[in-house]
């Protein structure tokens, strides 16, 4: 697996964990302090996935578009990265 795919996979996993943590907070305690800490972290990770996918060389259109879908960008990109890793 190329360094680009590995980086995109790690970023996607971190983005998925951050959105799940935000949703868990919303469904349970709804702690505003936790949301104010996790929100910007999730935003940065989402943008990192999107920019990496858009600017990365050799990625399929499916991977690029999947990285832009809000909430689902983490899982979609992880699936597409696995497909591209097998393809290379």
The per-residue pLDDT for 71 is 84
End-to-end CA distance of the chain: 7
Q: Where are the domains of the chain?
A: 3-87
The per-residue pLDDT for 46 is 95
At which residue do the structure tokens 């832009």 appear? Answer: 68
Mean pLDDT of each 10-residue bin along the chain, 88 residues long: 93 95 96 97 96 94 93 90 88
Q: pLDDT tens, 12-31?
A: 999 999 999 999 999 999 99
SS3 79: helix
Tokens for 6, please give them: 């590995």
pTM above 0.75, yes or no: yes
């Amino acid at each position: 697996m190329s360094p680009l795919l590995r980086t995109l996979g790690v970023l996607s996993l971190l983005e998925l964990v951050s959105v799940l943590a935000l949703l868990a907070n919303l469904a349970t305690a709804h702690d505003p302090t936790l949301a104010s800490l996790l929100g910007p972290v999730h935003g940065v990770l989402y943008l990192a996935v999107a920019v990496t996918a858009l600017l990365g060389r050799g990625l399929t259109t499916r991977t690029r578009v999947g990285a832009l879908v809000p909430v689902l960008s983490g899982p979609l990109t992880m699936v597409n990265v696995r497909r591209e890793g097998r393809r290379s």
